[in-house]
Every structure is written in C-alpha cells, then in structure tokens.
Chains A and B, each alone.
Chain A
Amino acid sequence: MSLLSIEDLDLSIAGTPILRKVSLQLAAGEVLGVVGESGSGKSLTALTVMRLLPRQVRTAGRVLLDGTDVLALSEAAMCERRGRAVGMVFQEPMTALNPLKTIGAQVAEVFSLHLGLSRADAERRASSVLERVGLPPARIPPTRYPHELSGGQRQRVVIAMAVALSPRLVIADEPTTALDVTMQAQILKLLRRLVAEDGAGLMLISHDLAVVAAMADRIAVMRRGEVVETGPGGAAAFEALVHPYAVALREASAHEPARPAAPPGEPLLTVDKAVRDYPLPRPHPFAARRHNRAVDGVSFTVHRGESVGLVGESGCGKSTLARAVLALEPLQGGRIALAGHDLAGLRGPTMAAFRRRVQMVFQDPYGSFDPRHRAGRIVGEPLRLLDEPIAPDARGRMVAQALVEVGLAPGDADKYPHEFSGGQRQRLAIARALITRPDLVVLDEPVSALDVSIRAQILDLLADLQTRLGLTYLFISHDLGVVRAMTDRVMVMSGGRIVEEGDTRTVLDHPRDPVTRGLVDASQHLDRLLSQA
C-alpha cells in the first residue's frame, strides 16, 4: 500500500475551481517530483496534505496518508499529525523561522510539543538533529538566531524541524529556489540522504525541471490544477515525457535564443579599479567608523554591441557594482566612465544625458513599478530625461510604440501593474528601459523570477532587441544556463573582486578559478544532466 495516495482531489476557493481530479501516489522510500509553473496548483496540493488551507476552500475526493483520509480528520487530530507524520520544508527559510527564537529552541520545540519531553531532553535531541542536517553544535551553536546564519544554514534548520520526529512523509515546497546554485546542490543531497535514512517518502515541489529530474524517482507534471502527465524520474525523465505541455516545458528550459555574432565596437563602459565601501554601524558613538568593502578594485571594459555576463553568489558584490555603474551610488576609489565621460563629474543636464544612455531592468518587475501608476505612465517615465519636453500626444505615441516593440498592445497603457502576468510585467520593464533608446542596459537577474516557458520568451525578446537596436548588455545572473545562452563574455565575481573573466563558453567549459569551478559544478544545467545518462 502506498504511503500517500491522493484520489480525485477537487479543490475550489470561493467557488472558483483550482484543482481538478488530482491523483498522485507516493510509496515509502520514494521521491515524487511535482513540477509545474506558478499557479499550476502544486503548492495547494501539498497544503491539502498538511490541511493548511485557507478558510474559504472546499475540497472533494480523498487524501489517504497511511490509509487514513486526512480530509476527514478533526483539526486536533491533524495537529497531532503535522510534524510527526508529515514534515514540511518551506521555500523561504528566513520567513519560515521565528526571528526571535534561537535555532536550538525552535527545533527543541518540536520535541517538547509532540513528545512532551522536558526542556533539557528536548534540547539534547535538538542538538543531535542539527548535527544530522550538517549543523554540528561545535561549529554552529544552537544558541544562534536565524539572522546569524547564511541562507543555506537557515534552510538546514527548517529541514531539521521537518525531519526531527522522523516523519513518514516529507513535503518540500521549492526548498532551494531562494538559495544560491552552490547551496542548492548541497541542500538537495541532504534531503535525499535524510529520507533514504528514515525510509520516508519525499514529495518535492519545484518549477525547475532539472532539480526535479535529478532528485525524483517519479515525476508528475501539473498544469492549471490538473496532473497532465506522470513518468519516471532520473536522467531518462525528459525523453519519457510526451504530453505537449511537458514537451514544451522541456524545450523551454533548454532554450537558447538565436544571437547572431556581432563584432564588438569601441569601448563603451570602462570601469577602472572601482572601490565601493559601506559604513558599518559604530559599536559606540565615539568609535571610529569602520567599513565593509563590497567592491574591491574591479576593472573591466564593455564594448559597444557586446553582451557581458556578471556572475557570482549572492553577496559577492555584483548588485553593488551594478548600482555604481548606474551612478546610483558614489565610488570610494577608482573611476567608471561611459564613452570616456567620468560618472563622478555628472550634474544636471549631463546626468540626464547619462541616464538616457544607461537604463536598467530589475529582477522583480512587479517590485520595480509603483503600484499606483498605470503602465503608460511607468513606461513613459524615462522620457523626462529628453532635452526637450514632449507633447502629451507624442509621448502617448512613443509609449504605444515601446509597448508594441516588446510584444504588448498599445491599449495596455491604461492598466495597472497588478493586472499583468509575470512575463508581461517583465516586458513592461524592458519597454521602460528601452524607451529612451539607451546604449547600455543593465539586466539584474531579468528572468530568475519567471516561469520556464516565459523565461524562454523573454530571452528571445532580449536577444531580438539587442540585434535590432544595437544594444549593449551587462547581464547579471546566478543562473549559468541563462548566462551561457545570452552572453559573449563573462566575469565571475567573488568577495568584491573579479576572479575570472573571458569568453563565456571557454570560462564555463574550462573554469580555472575554484569559485568558477564551484559554480559550474553546482549548476545543474540540463545539458550536463542529460549527457550523464
């Protein structure tokens, strides 16, 4: 008999059907990967197993856990099961942990709550669980608070809480999406080892086909509240999937846009020994100011028409460097120049001219729009940088043209940001960046917040716009697959310095620096995964 058996699960929120006839099976010791884009219902399916649903939700069908229908259980009986029979790992470890409690206390709570252990016993058990997830008390004392840990360590604490009582089933909802690539591989390995040791079942939910394929024994593909296909996991996963949607998903994640090679022109952006310091809080009011050096003597040149990638783990200084290139923050040393003009000397009209030539596309398009402004106003905003003020009708025409250029309709100008889908919002952000016809566009993780199929479309759009408008891209990303597809040259940053740079394929295929090698090893690029078969 299978450990978890979801049979014909229907779910509706306030009368709107969300899940339709979802059926999934999971045996003990098995890893079931559930893959799908945002809104496909994969998280709601997991929350149904935990019975952590919003109030207005109506369900039909059966969810059998070890033969018991959890949908028929009382709330008290369910509380007993959560944590003990089913453990859950959440996407965002920072918000899943209580910031005011030490990690030891949070793990110990699981024992005192479910087993009624004394405080000393619970803490002893907590230490051994933390050790088991790779946080040995000798190195990471249980008296630490969540903010004192790195993202990967925090996720280990969340996993420790989920597996503390050796539950029969562990549900992991996008457990590595918020983490760096190097961290991602370690956390996935840890999860696999833990469920293997306990003989538990693991339901792994992700939008990332590569993660699911590498981890799962079986894969279920979800779309619009339905399971469209199930198949075996492992390296054979992709060949086996036949449903048109699964095939589209597979092709989209391996997608490389067509980018005709353009000979690089004259130097456009020159960065020379740039240094950026942040003041640290003083320990007491009379202490000398101390500084944290985020960018440490970085030098590089970007030529016109080129596409240059900037990769590195979070906290390596790449976003700080981007802000300095955009003249949003001053340098403490060195210089940055656009076409020979030093950024430090820009004032008033020369600053406007600079801003016109350098624009930016942000990682989270929704967050980069004022929610109270309509799309037309948002896209037209950089037009204030033009020397001559433009008439309202000319402005309207330019906004409409910019919208059409990125594949939106002129009528979309009257909508609010929340009325667009994620992919449309990123198109909007690109339209805003291109309306002043800039030379250089800084793209900060432009596709990492997007679903796989949308990501392919946006990459195509970016490649097409670069060719048509002769743009130069500075492409910041932690996703080596995207960097490989989109850039001619790549720079690897670590600890505020550039540790390796060169032709993208050469650097990624034959990494010399240990940091680059770590990034390449960790990134589960689909090609590499499939070629291992």
Chain B
Amino acid sequence: MNDTALIAPSTGFLRRALRHPSFLTGAVIALAIAATAALSLVWTPHDYTAIDIALKMRSPSADHWLGTDPFGRDTFSMIMRGAVTSIAVSFVAVGIGMAIGVPLGLLAAARRGGPIDHAVMRTADFVFAFPALLIAIMLREVFGPGVTNAMIAIGIFNVPVFARVAYGASLPIWQRDFIMAARVAGKGRALITLEHVLPNIASVLIVQATIQLSLGILAEAALSYIGLGVQPPMPSWGRMLNEAQTYMAIAPRLALAPGLTIVATVLGLNLLGDGLRDLLDPRLARER
C-alpha cells in the first residue's frame, strides 16, 4: 500500500482504532483466525489426518471439542488446519488480483478516453465474463487439480474486479481541481497517479480487498467442495462441508462447524475493511 495513506493519519491512529467498534471486532476475529492457522502449523489437539474408525462420529467431548467425522478424524484440528488453506488461497488470490488489476485500472484512468483505456477495460470485461469456477475447471484440465490452480483461478477472477474498482474510483479523482493544481506544479500522469490518485482511492481498494478476501474464502470452499481445490488428506473448510453433506440429517454439526467458521471469518474481514476505510481517511481523523 502507498505509504502516504498509512503514514498520514498516524496521529493517535492506535487510540482511534481502539475506539472504533467495527474495526476492533473485525481485527480480533481476523487475528484469532490468523493465530489459529499459525498455531496449526506446529500443534493441533489431534493429528488432523489420523483416521481411526473406532472413534467415528463422536459427539463433542473434552477430548474432541467439536467431535469427530465419519473417519474418526478430530473436527477441531481439521478446522484449525483448514484455516491455513483458506487464508493462503484467498490472500494469494487477492494479491494476484491487486498486483495486476490495480495498475491496469490506474493506467486506463490516466489515459481515459484513449485507445489504451478502451483496450484495457474491454479486456477486463472479457475476462470478467468467465466465472472463477470455469477458469478453475479449465486450469484443472490443463494442469490437474490442486491448491495452486485454485489460487490462480480465483486470482484471475480478481484481476478485472480490481481493475474496474481502481478505474471507477480514479475517474472522479482525475476531475478534481487538485489534479489540475498538480499539473500546474509540473507533474506528469505517472507521478499524479502515484502521489494523488492512488492514495485517494486506497480506502476503496482496501474495502474491496476485504470483500475479495471473504469471496476468496467462499470460492476456495466452493472449489474444494466440488473437488477442484486442495486435495485429500489436507483439510479445507470447503472440503469439510463437502464431506459433511451426506451426513446432514444425522450429524448437522459436521456441516455447521466449517460453515459457521466461514461465516465468522467473512464477517470479521468485512468489519475490518469498514473500520480501515474510516481510520485511513484524515478527514474523519478528528476526535469523535
């Protein structure tokens, strides 16, 4: 992220952040998920791959906090480890989307009305016409199933999203008087984009990034659900939902555990995004 956007409101940033309820709630949830994922790399209550048929379909107990699945695997351990997959896939996908989409959108806006603008934005429209699912299926046909392809597929889906958001948010900025003032001060298109346009659309991009992060988690779950994402025995929230499907009538908790985790994560990321948008704007930085 551009440093002006982050340095500018530094006066009392932490103090204001601690008083912002949605930022605080979102940050706590996001940190908790991230910490759980990190912890699962070194420790889980049980081995998340260990199959023990004798222990199958246990209800929650002191030993198995969220019970076990039909193969006797510990659900809580699988959710912990599944967080790694979800976070990795959605963050990498958002990273791909922003790294390619934002510069393209900014370029099109800086050259608005010209051939570059049309070329970039019409290409974005074209890519946008392919759902992530279709891209994932195409990638699997070429490279075989796997978590990397899921990341790339969701990432490609994110590119036109960020290109459009960056483009749409930049256009009104380019009409503002301070852009003309910057031109009178001798700045070219590239410098204006970097110093004036990008910081002023940063809040929009941050909010969009949190939305795409939560959509990425959902997309990863969807791809894993149909078997295009992470492969067994590595757990993911989507694959857990998939496997719980046949047991919905007898053990709904198997679907509820990953399902509610996804809901909480998405909610937390959205709250975090809303809070960040407010906190990064110096005009809102006055004491409440």
> Residues of A at under 8 Å CB distance from B?
323, 326, 328, 351-352, 355-356, 358-360, 362-364, 367-374, 381-382, 384-385, 416, 418, 432
A428 CB, nearest partner CB in chain B, Å: 11
Instruction: Indicate with 1 or 0, residue by residue over B120-155, a CB within 8 angstroms of chain A CB atoms.
Output: 000000000000000000000000000000000000
| A351 touching B180 in the complex, CB below 8 Å, given contacts A371-B283, A372-B199, A373-B4 | no
Given contacts A384-B185, A384-B186, A372 and B177 within 8 Å (CB-CB): no
List B97-141 residues whose CB lies under 8 Å from chain A.
none
Q: How far is the CA of A381 from the CA of B183 in the complex (A)?
A: 10
Q: A364-B177, A416-B282, A418-B282 are in contact. Are A371 and B185 (CB under 8 A)?
A: no
Residues of B within 8 A of A371 (CB): 200, 282-283
A-B CB proximity, top 9 nearest:
A368-B177, A367-B177, A355-B186, A381-B185, A382-B185, A368-B181, A385-B186, A370-B178, A362-B177
Tell me the complex Cα distance, A364–B177, Å.
Answer: 8
Could you give 24 example pairs across A and B, Cβ below 8 Å? A328-B180, A352-B186, A358-B184, A360-B184, A362-B180, A362-B181, A364-B177, A367-B176, A367-B178, A368-B177, A368-B178, A370-B182, A370-B195, A371-B283, A372-B5, A372-B200, A373-B8, A374-B8, A381-B182, A381-B185, A384-B186, A416-B283, A418-B283, A432-B185
Do B176 and A372 touch across chains, with their CB atoms under 8 A apart? no
Instruction: Quote the shortest CB–CB distance from A389 to chain B (angstroms).
Output: 13
- Taking CB atoms, residues of chain A closer than 8 Å to B181 are 360, 362, 368-369, 381, 432
The reply to whether B8 and A372 contact each other, CB–CB distance below 8 Å, is yes
Taking CB atoms, residues of chain A closer than 8 Å to B196 are 370
Closest to B282 in A: A416
Query: With A385-B185, A418-B283 in contact, do A372 and B180 touch (Cβ < 8 Å)?
Result: no
B185/A355 in contact, CB under 8 A: yes
Contact of B178 among A323, A352, A369, A385 (CB under 8 A): A369
Contact A382/B180 with A370-B200, A418-B283 known, Cβ cut-off 8 Å: no
Map CB proximity to A onto B146-188 as digits: 1 under 8 Å, 0 otherwise.
0000000000000000000000000000001110111111110
Contacts of B283 in A (CB 8 A): 371, 416, 418
A381 CB to closest chain B CB, in angstroms?
Answer: 4
Which B residues have a C-beta under 8 Å from some C-beta of A?
A: 4-5, 8, 176-178, 180-187, 195-196, 199-200, 282-283, 285
- Residues in A neighbouring B4, C-beta threshold 8 A: 372-373
CB distance from A409 to the nearest CB of B (A): 19
Closest to A362 in B: B177
A326-B53 Cα distance, complex, nearest whole Å = 80
* Identity of the chain A residue whose Cβ is nearest the Cβ of B184 in the assembled complex: A360
- Is B177 a contact of A355 with CB atoms below 8 Å? no
Q: Give the CA-CA distance A498 to B160 in the complex, in Å.
A: 48
Complex: chain B residue closest to A373, CB-CB? B4
CB distance from A278 to the nearest CB of B (A): 12
Structural contact, B186 and A372, CB atoms closer than 8 A: no
Chain A neighbourhood of B184, CB < 8 A: 326, 328, 355, 358-360, 382
Per the bound structure, the CA–CA distance linking A337 and B201 in Å amounts to 37
Q: How far is the CA of A382 from the CA of B182 in the complex (A)?
A: 8
Shortest A297–chain B CB gap in Å is 25
- Cβ of B174 to closest chain A Cβ, rounded Å: 13
**Minimal beta-carbon separation of A386 from chain B (angstroms):** 10
**Cβ–Cβ < 8 Å partners of A328 in chain B:** 180, 183-184
Cα(A373)–Cα(B197), bound, Å: 12
Q: How far is the CA of A370 from the CA of B181 in the complex (A)?
A: 9
The chain A residue sitting closest to B202, CB to CB, is A372
Q: Report chain B residues within 8 Å CB of A368.
A: 177-178, 180-181
Write the nearest CB–CB distance from A425 to chain B, whole angstroms.
Answer: 12
Nearest opposing residue in chain B for A374, CB measure: B8
Q: Which residues of chain B have C-beta atoms less than 8 A from A382's C-beta?
A: 184-186
Smallest CB–CB gap between B169 and chain A, Å? 14
Bound: A418/B182 CA distance, A: 18
In the assembled complex, how far is the CB of residue B269 from the closest CB belonging to chain A, in whole angstroms? 24
Most chain A beta-carbon contacts within 10 A, residue among B176, B181, B196: B181
Instruction: Give the docked Cα–Cα distance between A356 and B185 (Å).
Output: 8
Bound form: Cα–Cα A362–B199 in Å = 22
Give the residues in chain A near B8, CB-CB below 8 Å: 372-374
Output the least CB separation between B183 and chain A (Å): 6
Question: In the complex, what distance in Å separates the CA atom of A229 from the CA atom of B244?
Answer: 78
CB proximity of B286 to chain A, nearest CB, Å: 8
Contacting residues, chain A, for B187 (C-beta < 8 A): 384
Residues from chain A with a CB closer than 8 A to the CB of B5 are 372
Closest B residue to A436 by CB, please name it: B185
Expressed in whole angstroms, the minimum distance between the Cβ of B121 and any Cβ of chain A is: 17
Q: Which one of B8, B180, B182, B187 has the highest number of Cβ atoms from chain A below 10 Å of its Cβ? A: B180
Chain A residue contacts of B282, Cβ below 8 A: 371-372, 416, 418
Complex-state Cα separation, A324 to B205, whole angstroms? 34
**Distance in angstroms between the alpha carbons of A178 and B214 in the assembled complex:** 45
Knowing that A364-B177, A382-B185 touch, tell me 16 more A-B residue pairs with CB under 8 angstroms. A360-B184, A367-B176, A368-B177, A369-B178, A370-B200, A371-B200, A371-B282, A372-B8, A372-B200, A373-B8, A382-B186, A384-B186, A385-B185, A416-B283, A418-B282, A418-B283
Closest to B5 in A: A372
Instruction: Tell me the nearest residue of chain A to B8, going by C-beta.
Output: A372
Looking at A352, A358, A373, which has the most chain B CB atoms within 10 Å of its CB? A373
* Contact partners of A358 in chain B: CB under 8 A: 184
The distance in angstroms between the C-alpha atoms of A370 and B8, with both chains bound, is 12
B196–chain A nearest beta-carbon distance, Å = 5
Q: Quick one: closest B residue to A353, CB to CB?
A: B186
With the chains together, A323 CA to B200 CA distance in Å? 24
**Least Cβ–Cβ distance between A359 and chain B, in angstroms:** 6
The CA-CA distance from A137 to B180 in the complex, in Å, is 41
**Smallest CB–CB gap between A388 and chain B, Å?**
15
Distance from A133 Cβ to chain B, minimum over Cβ atoms (Å): 32
A residues near B195, Cβ cutoff 8 Å: 370
Q: How far does the Cβ of A406 sit from chain B's closest Cβ, in whole Å?
A: 16
| Shortest Cβ distance from residue B24 to the other chain A in the assembled complex, whole angstroms | 22
CB-CB under 8 A from A372, the residues of chain B are 4-5, 8, 199-200, 282
Assess the B200–A351 pair: CB atoms within 8 A: no
A384 to B184, CA, bound (A): 11
Q: Please, how many angstroms separate the alpha-carbon atoms of A476 and B224 in the complex?
A: 64
Whole-angstrom distance between the alpha carbons of A372 and B176 in the complex? 14
Taking CB atoms, residues of chain B closer than 8 Å to A359 are 184
